Amino acid sequence: MPCSIVVFNGTHHNDETVKIFSKHYSNYNTYWEKGTNNFGGVLVAVHRSIPVQKVDIFQHLPNVIVLDIGTAADKFQLATCYSPPNENLPISLFDKILKRNINTVLLGDFNAKHISWSSTIDNHKGRALFNWLATNSLEVVNKFVPTSTRSNGTIDLILAPTHMIAPTSSFCVLPSIGSDHFPVVWTPTAKLHKRDCLYPIKRTYWTLFKLFLVFTFSFWNDMSSKTDDIMHFFSTYERFLALLASRLTYVSYCSAYKPSLPPHIIKLIQQKKMILRLARKTKHPLYITQLKAYSTIIRKEIFAHKRLSWLNYCSTLNAADVKQFWKKARKHFSVTNPPINGFLSNGAVISSPNEMCNLAKSFYEDQFSMHINTTTSIEIEADNVVKQLDVEINKFIPPSPNIRNKDIAKTILSLKNKSSSGIDGVSNKVIKLLPSSHHAFICSSFNYFMSHLCMPSHWKTAKMILLSKNKANIINVNDTRPISLLPCFSKLYEKIFLGHFRQWVNDNGILPDEQTGFRPGHNMAVRLVSIIDQIGQSLTVNTAAAGLFIDFQAAFNQLWFSGLMLKLSRLDCPMYLMAWIKTYLSERSATSYFYSVPSRYSE
């Protein structure tokens, strides 16, 4: 019998048993809490198609789980509790649960007997529960149906609001499957709004994409030569690329991501299912023996298939290509971040996309606030440098280096083949597929931006995606890690400028060889080799090797722009480099996204 929500009470659980349970019921989200005795503990499994959130203020309570089920329109609170026979009912906790949300379904093994719902003698827990129900709007669903195999007592109760116990709702008690309690199945009248269980599979016809760009080259080339507004032209070109890629992308849906198995294993699984049905129906020893044999055969066949697949995969690795090896190996060690389903704020869970966007916007606006000027001597000097730079730029724009077509081609070739995009919708993959003929008007546009110290306004807006730091679905907003996605043409333009800036740094010996990080030939591996070499030299001469290790709790939220200008000025940085950096860093904003819902821009 398929059930959307399954609740277990009085079943001892630990990390290992829950792991095994989740493995067999992979389509369910599993929540559990330990009990206060050897038979205690509760577990709730909710189908992945149903929106669910664990209520934070009731976490880590023994024998109790409280969940929010459904969306804003049909949300209700589901609470389950196991009350051991020698303990009192947690009436005060029940009051807190109902106070949070009156639309609550409370169920569990209460070990409470009363003549109002059980055909047995009352006990003190039953009288306490009866008095509590008299003051609240909950009713017992499964009255006078024994749930214990040892007596006629009804001790596993379902308490629900009146509007959920309509005549059309139904419940039944199933035969025991080995426990001393009968399973109870309840079908309420409320219908949950399920999430779309289908997974999107995108396919873009990139060959057709390239052909269309080849045929439209003359149109864009003529427009670039005739236009007087380069900014508008390039923004239109970006929009065209994004819409073309979207138009040639088709989405199909599948019910689940499943590894493909060879036909002979699928046939064995189908035969096993048929024998399983016969074994359950007839209980014949022959079918039970065949079922065990098929299970063993299938397990060995799947293991052999996985082993062969892995050997075939390893044979594709080239021992001489170290970069390609680590590129493939990295996929097997990467950890995926779960999506953020809600934020914790003042003990409540915020799950509305608009509210989550507003909360993230307020938090990161405070984090990325402007540097507070305390009028120290170095701040006054930095402000004077910025003012002097503004005066010089207003007088005349310093001449900029010329960008060539081969610079465009070389930089595009160095881009990673990623499908992620900023707010413009253009990805690195789209840029790498551009015909070489398009590089000419891209180059002329970039030269215009460089010589006039300008760029399209949307290039300064980042699309901010928040990831969870602690691998949880519901977290505090300060436990998020922002990933900023800039428009890819903006990053292409930035990489070209970085080449000129890096040349000035290297020609003047600004950075020492010991400075590593974000430098070609000076990565972390080089620094580790250098440290090991220094330790080896110290051991050779029998001296100590001192080391200082510093770990910061968080990275710096924002660069002090005026201080950067002061530092570059002290290093005699050319005027055109300082002017470009100042223009690039000014007037930037970001917008965060949750479930495709954007926030307002954060300056």
Of the listed ranges 49-53, 419-423, 549-553, the one predicted with least confidence: 549-553
CB 535 within 8 A of CB 545: yes
Distance CA(112)–CA(154), nearest Å, equals 8
More confident residue, 259 or 84: 84
Q: Is the pLDDT confidence value at 488 over 90?
A: yes
Q: Which of 145, 129, 138, 144 is nearest to 183 (CA)?
A: 145
Q: Is the pLDDT confidence value at 57 over 90?
A: no
Q: Is the pLDDT confidence value at 602 over 60?
A: no
Helices (H), 90-196: 91-100, 124-134
Q: Would you state the pLDDT for residue 516?
A: 80
CA 84 vs. chain centroid, Å, equals: 39
Single-letter amino acid code for the residue at 280: R
Strands 480-485 and 589-594: unpaired
The two structure tokens encoding residue 448: 């215009």
CB 107 within 8 A of CB 159: yes
Q: Would you state the pLDDT for residue 599?
A: 58
More confident residue, 437 or 3: 437
More confident residue, 333 or 281: 281
Q: Is the pLDDT confidence value at 538 over 80?
A: yes
What are the tens digits of pLDDT across the range 392-415?
Answer: 888 888 888 899 999 999 999 999
Distance CA(336)–CA(330), nearest Å, equals 12
CB 463 within 8 A of CB 422: yes
Question: Is 5-187 a CATH 3.60.10.10 domain?
Answer: yes
Distance CA(575)–CA(151), nearest Å, equals 90
Q: Is the pLDDT confidence value at 165 over 90?
A: no
Reported as type and span, the H/E element at residue 251 is strand 249-254
DSSP class per residue in 458-519: GGGEEEEEEEESSS-SEE-GGGEEEEEE--HHHHHHHHHHHHHHHHHHHHTT-S-TT--SSS
Q: Is 182 exposed, middle or buried (0-12, 13-18, 19+ CB in 10 A)?
A: middle
- Maximal C-alpha separation, the chain: 97
What are the tens digits of pLDDT across the range 515-531?
Answer: 887 777 777 788 888 88
The two structure tokens encoding residue 351: 């799950």
Q: Which of 434, 479, 439 is nearest to 209 (CA)?
A: 434
Distance CA(287)–CA(282), nearest Å, equals 8
Please tell me whether residue 361 adopts helix, strand or coil conformation: helix
336 secondary structure, DSSP code: P
Q: Is the pLDDT confidence value at 569 over 80?
A: yes
Single-letter amino acid code for the residue at 323: K
Distance CA(65)–CA(44), nearest Å, equals 8
Q: Would you state the pLDDT for residue 63?
A: 92
Q: Would you state the pLDDT for residue 413?
A: 94
What are the tens digits of pLDDT across the range 303-339?
Answer: 999 899 888 888 887 777 777 777 777 777 766 677 7
What are the tens digits of pLDDT across the range 86-126?
Answer: 899 999 999 999 998 889 999 999 999 999 999 889 999 99
Q: Is the pLDDT confidence value at 217 over 80?
A: yes
In this prediction, what percent of the chain has a pLDDT beyond 70? 94
Q: Would you state the pLDDT for residue 555?
A: 64
Residue range 350-373: mean pLDDT, rounded: 80
Any residues with CB less than 8 A from the CB of 216 and at least 6 apart, and which?
Answer: none
**Ordered strands of the 342-345 beta sheet:** 348-350, 342-345, 474-475
Distance CA(581)–CA(398), nearest Å, equals 13
What are the tens digits of pLDDT across the range 117-149?
Answer: 998 899 999 999 999 999 998 999 999 999 988
In this prediction, what percent of the chain has a pLDDT beyond 90? 44
What are the tens digits of pLDDT across the range 344-354?
Answer: 877 677 777 78
Distance CA(570)–CA(562), nearest Å, equals 12
Q: Where are the domains of the chain?
A: 5-187, 263-332, 344-515+556-598
Q: Would you state the pLDDT for residue 140?
A: 92
Q: Is the pTM of this model over 0.85?
A: no
Please tell me whether residue 334 adopts helix, strand or coil conformation: coil
The two structure tokens encoding residue 131: 């008095």
Q: What is the mean pLDDT of the chain?
A: 86
The two structure tokens encoding residue 177: 């499957």
Of the listed ranges 172-176, 295-299, 504-508, the one predicted with least confidence: 172-176
Q: Is the pLDDT confidence value at 601 over 60?
A: no
CB 465 within 8 A of CB 420: no
B/e letters for 151-162, b = 16+ CB within 10 Å, e = fewer, are eebbbbbbbbbe
